[in-house]
Structure 1
Amino acid sequence: MTFTVAIVGRPNVGKSTLFNRLVGRRVAIVHDMPGVTRDRREGDATLLGMDFRVIDTAGFEDATGDSIEARMRRQTDQAVAESDVVLMLIDARAGVTPLDRHFGDLLRRCKTPVILVANKCEGKAGAPGLYESYALGLGEPVPLSAEHNEGMAELFDALMPYAKAAGALDDEDEEQEPFPDEIAVDDEEITTEDRPERPLQLVIVGRPNVGKSTLVNRLLGEDRMLTGPEAGLTRDAVTVEWEHRGRRFRLVDTAGLRKRANIDDPVEKLSVSNTLEAIRLAEVVVLVLDQAAILDKQDLTIARMVIEEGRSLVLAINKWDAVDKPEEALKRLKDRCETSLPMARGLAAVTISALTGKGIPRLMDAVQDTHAVWNRRIPTSQLNRWLEEVVSHHPPPALPGGRRIKIRYMTQTKARPPTFVIFASKPEELPESYSRYLINGLRESFKLPGVPIRLYVRAGRNPYANKG
């Protein structure tokens, strides 16, 4: 069992820095500008051997109504309600502010227990704020510096009673040494069959305000992400564990990607970096398009980036319920894909309405089908029978002097994406057009639609020649 810890506090007290420290990597955007975090972010944390779930929240704002701040506040309230214990952070160098007192009063009245944490206590500058924080009435504060990794042992001691109460830790766990078979081994030594099926990493990308967070909320069946008419609400790439028809997913909502020339906000630059990193780690990427501007220049830039990274791609055309002439729009989309994205011919494109949920089951079917194609392996014997046939039907062009390139052998070196190597007599002389011919043939003959295919030409002889 595990337990859940929410990190709350007013803006810019170091919540995301502590979150990154606990999860062991820089996943939440950290910046001096207040209010950078908007959606709540969850991660698996480890503190001196204690494992738990941690939630990074938006800054506690004293706001009501339907403003962005009020919606952020409701997300934080939900995180507090779902947690076993709350860490309320204050900035010890700034001292206790009226907003700290206001939220301290609110947390004292909630059912979830609270641990007061005085952050930024490195050196002597935080001492006055640390002593002042006793007046909040939340018990003895835990002094630490998330940025400098100080005070983590004291935080461990403060969390210990709640870990035991949740059944996540007991005295035997504290004293017991791991048995040899419990020690993690390198991933490369574990076969897929030796471990449970890992979650499928599904990343949602697109331009700002096309409905990415609305789609994620619809998939999850709850208002998990902050949504609204304002563009650029999502800043962090937020990951949520989710299950669909018995299949586990790791669902990632990302910040909208604009043209690089239009970005001068430093926080937006960090958001873009987070999104690009999420794409690099993805298995399937869903590119959300707005029906009013299907596959415009920026959409094509994002799609090509996904394909160049070797990720599998599915197009989701959102707000389809507002289309006047659906047949014309679909034809325009098909023509655009064929002319501008030939390197992933056969891309799955699904029309949806994230707001109403229409088309969502078809989208998830397309995601799983594309993922299966992206993982496909083709036996070497089938590949070489196919290669012999296509080369005899359409041999490589002759070299100067009438000599021809001899293509001897072919194998698939890996999946994710499907990657093939051809051994030829003069690899450097094989035209790019002939490689494209082979890739198109592979796609059609072995049913590999919509995924990038990598083909490399190497010098060498058939490794199975003269063996027998």
Structure 2
Amino acid sequence: MSVTVAIVGRPNVGKSTLFNRLVGRKIALVDDTPGVTRDRREAEGRISELRFRLLDTAGFEDVSDDSLEARMRLQTEAAIAEAEVILFMIDARAGVTPLDERFAQLLRKANKRVHLIANKAEGKAAQAGLMEAFSLGFGEPVPLSAEHGEGLGDLYNIVAEAVEAVETGAAELVTDRMPEINVDVTDEVDGDEEELRWNPSRFLNVAIVGRPNAGKSTLINRLVGEERLLTGPEAGITRDSILVPWEWEGRVINLVDTAGIRRRARVQQKLEKLAVSDSLRSIQYAEIVVLMLDATMPFEKQDLQLASLVEREGRALIIAVNKWDLVEDKSATLAHLKEACTRLLPQMRGIPLVTLSGLKGTNIPRLMDAIFEIEKVWNARISTARLNRWLTGMVEGHPPPAVSGRRLKLRYITQAKSRPPSFVVFCSRPDALPTAYQRYIVNGLRETFDLPGAPIRLWVRGGDNPFAPKGRKK
């Protein structure tokens, strides 16, 4: 049974820095600007052999209206409700502030295990703040330097104690129930563990990308059935790329919400540059990318650039046209969108296009069906025999052109790998094979072997059939 540990505190005390330290890699954005983190982020934390579920939270703001800060506070309160262990962080150099005191009052009402963490405790400048921390009423503060990794031994003891308490409670619960169920409890527990253990091969990483305010976070909230991510009328709410595990029909889907990506010329501030870079990295680590378009402003230049980026990274692409409930003439608009998709993105002919409303939850099953179908295409394998029979027909139907008076010979084709489907063609003069003829081969592969939407890689190599017996050319 995993223990959940939440890091909470006012803005800019170093919560995300400690989160990255415990996770072991920099996945949360860190900057001197207060309020960088907005959504609660989840990952596996580790200290030595200890493993636990770790939550990073937005800086606590003492507001309760309809503002963005108030919605951020609700996300923090949700993390507190989930966690068994609360790490209440203050800045030892700044001492105890009124906002720290207000947050301490809230935590005392939560009836949770709270440990006071005094960050930035290296050096003499922190001594006064460490003494002030006793006034918050959580006992002796744990001095820590998240940036330099000092004080992690004390955190180990805190988490280890919580793990032991949870495991002891779970064992007592099983013992209490044994006489009631009248079965071999040991066998049943082992069987349940085997059944529930996550198999990495079952994971599917799906990144949701698009321009600001396209409805990415709203869609994920609708999918998971809770207000997991911050949403609102303000553009650019999401900054970090947030991974949200979710299950659909027995399949574990890792949904990744990303910051809205504007044109590079408009991205000026350092923080937005960090957020955009984080979103682009999410595309690299995804398997399926859902490009969200605003139905009221579809296929703008930035949308096309994002689609091209996904194709260059070799990821499977689905276009989701959001806010479909705002469209009046749906039939005419859908026909226009399909025509525009074919015309503007010819390199990925047959991209699935799904209209939906993240706010109202319409067409969610269609989106998931499209995701699973494009996954099959992205993982497709085609036998070498089928490929070469197909290549013979393609060459007979449309022979490659003669270059400098010499006709090119395509001798052999094989699939090098999948994810995405990648093929190697052996040719007598690979440097002379025209780009147009390579497109002819790629389009033929896509049409004949039913590979719509996914990127296709084609490499042209020189030489004879490498698999033919020696002394025999084909």
Output the TM-score relative to the length of structure 1: 0.93
- Once the two structures are TM-superposed, the CA of residue 197 in structure 1 deviates from its matched residue by 2.2
- Which of the numbers 433, 438, 441 marks the counterpart of 2:436? 433
Residue type of the partner of 1:158?
I
Kept in 2: contact 1:235–1:271 (CA 8 A): yes
Q: Which residue of 1 aligns with 2:102?
A: 102
Q: Which residue of 2 aligns with 1:15?
A: 15
Residue type of the partner of 1:445?
T
Kept in 2: contact 1:3–1:168 (CA 8 A): no
Q: Which residue of 2 aligns with 1:294?
A: 298
Q: Report the secondary structure of 1:236's partner residue.
A: coil
Q: Report the secondary structure of 1:125's partner residue.
A: helix
- Which of the numbers 228, 231, 242 marks the counterpart of 1:224? 228
- Once the two structures are TM-superposed, the CA of residue 196 in structure 1 deviates from its matched residue by 4.9
- Which consecutive aligned stretches of 4+ in structure 1 deviate over 6 angstroms post-superposition? none
Q: Report the secondary structure of 2:402's partner residue.
A: coil
Structure 2, unaligned stretches of length 5 or more?
171-197
Kept in 2: contact 1:387–1:410 (CA 8 A): yes
Alignment of 1:303-318 (within 5 A): 303-318=307-322
Output the TM-score relative to the length of structure 2: 0.92
Tell me the distance in 2 between the aligned counterparts of 1:202 and 1:70: 29
Tell me the distance in 2 between the aligned counterparts of 1:195 and 1:410: 34
Q: Report the secondary structure of 1:457's partner residue.
A: strand
Q: Report the secondary structure of 2:321's partner residue.
A: strand
Alignment of 1:18-417 (within 5 A): 18-167=18-167, 196-401=200-405, 403-417=406-420
Question: Greater shift after overlay, 447-456 or 289-298?
Answer: 289-298
Q: Which residue of 2 aligns with 1:457?
A: 460
Distance 1:302 1:169, change over 3 A: farther
Q: Deviations over 1:234-266 (max 9, x none)?
A: 000000111100011111000001111111121
Tell me the distance in 2 between the aligned counterparts of 1:411 and 1:137: 69
Question: Greater shift after overlay, 102-111 or 225-234?
Answer: 102-111
Residue type of the partner of 2:337?
L
Tell me the distance in 2 between the aligned counterparts of 1:195 and 1:275: 26
Tell me the distance in 1 between the aligned counterparts of 2:3 and 2:256: 22
Structure 1, unaligned stretches of length 5 or more?
171-193
Tell me the distance in 2 between the aligned counterparts of 1:82 and 1:196: 25
Tell me the distance in 2 between the aligned counterparts of 1:159 and 1:197: 30
Q: Deviations over 1:316-364 (max 9, x none)?
A: 1111111111122112212211221111100000010111100111001
Tell me the distance in 2 between the aligned counterparts of 1:126 and 1:212: 42
Query: What is the Cα-based RMSD across aligned positions, in Å?
Result: 1.5
Residue type of the partner of 2:139?
G
State percent identity of aligned pairs. Answer: 57
Kept in 2: contact 1:28–1:236 (CA 8 A): yes
Tell me the distance in 1 between the aligned counterparts of 2:169 and 2:264: 48
Kept in 1: contact 2:350–2:453 (CA 8 A): yes
Q: Report the secondary structure of 1:239's partner residue.
A: strand
- Once the two structures are TM-superposed, the CA of residue 101 in structure 1 deviates from its matched residue by 1.0
Distance 1:415 1:95, change over 3 A: same
Q: Deviations over 1:55-102 (max 9, x none)?
A: 000001100021101100011001000101100000111111111111
Q: Deviations over 1:105-152 (max 9, x none)?
A: 211121211010000112222121112111111122111111111111
- Once the two structures are TM-superposed, the CA of residue 311 in structure 1 deviates from its matched residue by 0.5
Tell me the distance in 2 between the aligned counterparts of 1:196 and 1:253: 20
Kept in 2: contact 1:422–1:456 (CA 8 A): yes
- Once the two structures are TM-superposed, the CA of residue 438 in structure 1 deviates from its matched residue by 0.1
Kept in 2: contact 1:163–1:169 (CA 8 A): no
Residue type of the partner of 1:230?
E
Q: Report the secondary structure of 1:224's partner residue.
A: coil
Q: Which residue of 1 aligns with 2:449?
A: 446
Q: Report the secondary structure of 1:395's partner residue.
A: coil
Question: Greater shift after overlay, 335-344 or 236-245?
Answer: 335-344
Q: Which residue of 1 aligns with 2:179?
A: none
Q: Report the secondary structure of 2:306's partner residue.
A: helix
Number of matched pairs: 444
Kept in 2: contact 1:20–1:27 (CA 8 A): yes
Q: Which residue of 2 aligns with 1:421?
A: 424
Residue type of the partner of 2:392?
E
- Once the two structures are TM-superposed, the CA of residue 168 in structure 1 deviates from its matched residue by 8.9
Residue type of the partner of 1:323?
V
Kept in 2: contact 1:384–1:410 (CA 8 A): yes
Residue type of the partner of 1:75?
Q
